[in-house]
Amino acid sequence: MSDLFGTFVSGFCSHIDEVSVSGAPDGPLKGLRFAVKDIIDVEGVVTGCGNPDWFRSHEPAPRHATVVQKLLDAGADLAGKTITEEFAFGLIGENYHYGTPVNPRGEGRIPGGSSSGSASVVACAQVDFALGTDTGGSVRVPASFCGLFGIRPSHGRVSLQGIMPLAPSLDTCGWFTREAALFRWIAPVLMDWSDKPLPTRVLIAEDAFALVGDDVRAALAPAIARVEALYGAAVPIHPSERAGLAGGYPEWQQAMQVTRGSEAAASHLAWMRATDPEMGPYFRERFEAGGAYGPADIVDAMSKRAMIDGYMAGALRDDAILLVPAAPAAAPPARSDEAVYDDLRTRNELYNCTAPLARSPQVSLPMAETADGPIGLGVIAGHGNDEMLLDLAVEVAG
């Protein structure tokens, strides 16, 4: 095993030569510094995807990813690339090859993944903001663990050109900030902005809150009260019982696992089998498991996803938000037993698959602390209502 495994390191990629690109001489983001997850292309730099064999066997990117170019054109300066879990397929943030980025909000605790480095460099105030990607929670969970604002945009709202695919029908590119105003200010640069009204209905997923501990529920209670004071009393709902799937959240989880796993295998398994790269524990196995799903499994998952998507669209429409825990718990200690990590992954996937399966935006708002560290409030809106959530973040932050 690599000597670096589990060692806390800077969130920046130490194996990549210093990356620094100046932005345009003026623009709305002039004077700000940002970093990007190392699955996002930067011209002239190899996109390493968290794996040394991929890094060694690929050529430098011929051009910037669209999101990077937009930020540079808006005046922001690129400060570097950040560590990711291998091929963005992880939730913990420990990279077998390059180490574990620091979580300054929890000494000795994981930063969360797979956008671990991006969350770390923002939380450590090394940059003003950073780009990450979120397929199954890879922005929302690190934002929660590190006490940051984080967004998973609606699927399709932010360009993925020049970003390594994991599961294309679920992949999104989001960002982290320490301040609510900047969190919202970045959005018109990366997406076509259209003003939306703030919510007039608040829903709360009681079945999601039932999956977390008493400490999380107690910590988030004042944050929920703050949202209710602004937008009205929260109406309890149980999405897992209402989408037409008799098995509840475990069926939602199954749809997520098959969709993500089969698409991840289609994206990368052929390369892994052809080159036999060195990979951290359990990573190759995740791609192999995804490759084992057959056509019937995929069709079944697509059917379940359509039911979930339809239910969520009807419940949220264009005027409601749904409250969930942004993560199932505060960040556990680094180098925890695998059983601790498996429990975290399972509980997260049971309910935090909601936004991905429904193609919806979700933000993590840094509004609470437990004895073990920060916990974010998750807020979901209907597909395309990203502006509602970003304006809400500013108002709730006060």
Give 5's pLDDT tier (boundaries 50, 70, 90). Answer: low
Residue with tokens 């983001």: 29
**In this predicted structure, what is the pLDDT of residue 3?**
40
Q: What is the span of the domain harbouring residue 181?
A: 8-190
Query: CB of 85 within 8 A of CB of 50?
Result: yes
Residue 18 pLDDT: 87
Q: Catalytic: 118?
A: no
- The pLDDT of residue 7 is 75
Could you tell me the two tokens for 291?
A: 């490759």
Same domain, 264 and 295: yes
304 and 258 belong to one structural domain: yes
Residues 6+ apart with CB under 8 A from 273: none
The number of beta carbons lying within 10 Å of the beta carbon of residue 294 is 10
> In which order are the strands placed within the sheet that holds 77-82?
77-82, 33-37, 129-134, 172-177, 149-152, 362-370, 373-381, 320-325, 201-205, 234-237
**Does residue 186 lie in a domain region?**
yes
With respect to residue 350, please indicate whether it lies within any of the assigned structural domains.
yes
**What pLDDT does residue 17 have?**
85
Q: Please check whether residue 378 lies inside any domain of the structure.
A: yes
**Residue 154: other Cβ atoms inside 10 A:** 22
Rounded average pLDDT over 99-118: 97
57 & 95 share domain? yes
- The predicted model gives 231-240 an average pLDDT of 98
- Average pLDDT for 312-321: 98
Is residue 135 within 8 Å of residue 338, measured between CB atoms? no
Catalytic residue selected from 10, 114, 120, 267: 114
Domain-terminating residue out of 190, 214, 236: 190
d(CA 78, CA 70): 11
Residue with token string 């020049």: 162
DSSP 87: G
Averaged pLDDT, 294-322: 98
Q: Are 254 and 349 in contact (CB under 8 A)?
A: no
Crossing angle of helices 295-316/249-275, nearest 10°?
Answer: 130
Question: Does 183 share its domain with 205?
Answer: no
Tens digit of each residue's pLDDT (9 = 90 or more) over 140-187:
999 999 999 999 999 999 999 999 999 999 999 999 999 999 999 999
Query: How many CB atoms are located within 10 Å of the residue 193 CB?
Result: 13
| Closest alpha carbon to 74 in 120, 118, 128 | 128
The dihedral built from the CA positions of residue 385, 170, 377 and 398, taken in this order, carries a sign that is: negative
In whole angstroms, give the CA distance from residue 83 to residue 70.
22
DSSP string, 264-303: HHHHHHHHHHHH-----TTHHHHHHHHHT--HHHHHHHHH
Q: How many CB atoms lie within 10 A of CB 30?
A: 13
Contact 89, 264 (CB under 8 A): yes
The Cα–Cα gap between 321 and 74 comes to 30
Domain total for the chain?
A: 2
pLDDT tens track for 50-81: 999 999 999 999 999 999 999 999 999 999 99
Give yes or no: residues 100 and 214 share one domain.
Answer: no
Q: Is 56 exposed, middle or buried (0-12, 13-18, 19+ CB in 10 A)?
A: exposed
Q: Is 225 part of a structural domain of the chain? A: yes
pTM of the model: 0.97
Q: Give the pLDDT score at 2.
A: 40
- Strand 373-381 with 172-177, pairing: unpaired
Q: Is the domain of 147 the same as that of 243?
A: no
Domain end point (choices 165, 190, 215): 190
Hey, which bits of 172-317 come out as E strands? 172-177, 201-205, 234-237
How far from chain centre, in Å, is Cα 345? 13
Residues 160 and 175: beta-carbon distance below 8 Å: no
Q: Are residues 46 and 163 in the same domain?
A: yes
Last residue of one domain, picked from the residues 131, 165, 190: 190
Q: Above 60 in pLDDT, residue 1? A: no
Mean pLDDT estimate for the chain:
97
Question: In terms of domains, do 254 and 373 share one?
Answer: yes
Mean of pLDDT values over 326-344: 97
pLDDT at 250 over 50: yes
Q: Which of 118, 120, 138, 144 is catalytic?
A: 138
Structure tokens given for 95: 């990279």
In a domain, 196, yes or no: no
Q: Which of 10, 37, 120, 364 is catalytic?
A: 37
363 in any annotated domain: yes
Within 10 angstroms of residue 214's Cβ, the number of other Cβ atoms is 7
Same domain assignment for residues 72 and 95: yes
Residue with tokens 């291998």: 86
Q: Is residue 195 part of a domain?
A: no
State whether 282 and 324 are in the same domain.
yes
- What's residue 63's pLDDT? 98
205 shares a domain with 178: no
Using alpha carbons, list the distances in angstroms from residue 351 to 32, 83, 91, 155, 378: 35, 26, 14, 18, 11
Residue 138 annotated in active site: yes
What is the reported pLDDT for 6?
A: 56
Q: Tell me if 1 is assigned to some domain.
A: no
What pLDDT, in 10s, does the model give residues 358-376?
A: 999 999 999 999 999 999 9
Q: What pLDDT is stored for residue 33 in this prediction?
A: 98
Instruction: List pLDDT tens digits, range 271-293.
Output: 999 999 999 999 999 999 999 99
Work out the average pLDDT over 372-395.
Answer: 98
Residues 119, 162: contact at Cβ < 8 Å?
no
Residue type, 107: E
Active site residue 2: no
**In the chain, % of residues over pLDDT 70:** 98
Q: In one letter, which amino acid is 361?
A: P
Cross-strand pairs, 176: 130, 150
pLDDT at 311 over 50: yes
237 pLDDT above the threshold of 80:
yes
- Half-sphere exposure in the Cβ direction for 301 (13 Å, CA): 21
